[in-house]
Amino acid sequence: MNEQEGVSLTRRGMLAGTVLLGVGASALGSSLAQAATASPAAGPVPDLAKLERVSVELVAPPQVHPHSQRAPGKPRIVEFRMVIEEKELAVDSAGAYIHAMTFNGSVPGPLMVVHEGDYVELTLVNPASNSMMHNIDFHASTGALGGGELTHVKPGEQVVLRFKADRAGVFVYHCAPGGAMIPWHVVCGMNGAIMVLPRDGLKDPEGRPLRYDKAWYIGEQDYYIPRDKDGKYKRYANPMASFGDMSQLMKGLVPSHVVFNGSVGALTGKQALTAKVGETVLIVHSQANRDTRPHLIGGHGDYVWASGKFANPPQRNLETWFIPGGAAGAALYTFRQPGLYTYLNHNLIEAVMLGAAAHVQVEGQWNDDLMKQVQAPGPIR
């Protein structure tokens, strides 16, 4: 596939010629192609002109844009604008680079927050400086392949999509232009998450309100960066130039890196997350492609929605929780001791050797009742 083909192929054409889910390509491609050509039927739509409109400026992860934990009133139309950016990123300090495809310039893309019953209205911009066609598939939405079929934008175009956030939870979004382009765009960084809060806020298993002092968004990313015959990471002139080599590596299902927020060490050392003893933090964690097992060393998940869906009661006091590939989860934790915590994927090989780890530096006073070194290390007596 050459660069021009990569730009011009549509989702319809690629789906018709591939085995997407391990079943017959002909039947699956035909049915999806027919669905792709059909215009959405007009259905009942409330008078949206009567709804309040609010424009939200997105921020780069791990931070989350300001939002109300309880809906401030009636459903609204929440406007977002995301600009697709193709850019080369350093993945580690050992010479690994990737021509990332990003939403708003970050890996992962920004966390979007609305309330159940709100309408999400996204303006998706693909600047002329980019080389690829892109789109967006919201796992939170209903119809048109998650909106993917209605949002194909070539370089130099923009599109506006509106969907109703009709179920509460945290959900993945990602680029899904079709065929082999789907996994390639995702593992090149083009994914993020949206959080749809219940209108009356989060609740514990008994229905009592839960609140948080701050929220963090951690997007776990698997990269597949090829090496040359000498074992050095290969570097490419543009995204499409890497497609052939990367596709072969992807088929082996063995990532070269598994990282948090775009690169090894992105959330460690001087970039560590910070909190204070007594603060409650909501951690949203997504993995658009592979399973993951979040764990907070030195802490727990006080309340965990491992499946990410707030209509289900949270589990209590988890040590590690499981988030399947293509999903997002959420956990609440109140920090009780000061010091350094490590938040990681508890596949320790992926955390320690491939990069899926973050640090949390917590300030406050130590509580001897929770833990105390009774005797310092010394000679055996």
Catalytic residues: 134, 137, 139, 174-175, 185, 190, 295, 319-320, 346
Name the residue with tokens 């508890």.
346
What does each C-alpha distance from 353 to 20, 218, 347 come to in angstroms?
31, 19, 10
Triad 273, 279, 280: Cα angle to 5°: 90
d(CA 13, CA 31): 12
How far apart CA 109 and CA 190 sit, in angstroms, is 7
Take residue 238 and report the two structure tokens written for it. Answer: 């543009």
Q: Which two tokens stand for residue 366?
A: 């130590």
Distance between CA atoms of residues 274 and 113, nearest Å = 21
For 209-235, the three-class secondary structure string (H helix, E strand, C coil) is EECCCEEEEEEEEEECCCECCCCCECC
CB atoms within 10 A of CB 91: 24
> DSSP alpha helices (H): ranges in the chain?
3-8, 11-15, 25-37, 181-187, 243-251, 348
What is the C-alpha separation between 306 and 283, in angstroms, rounded?
A: 11
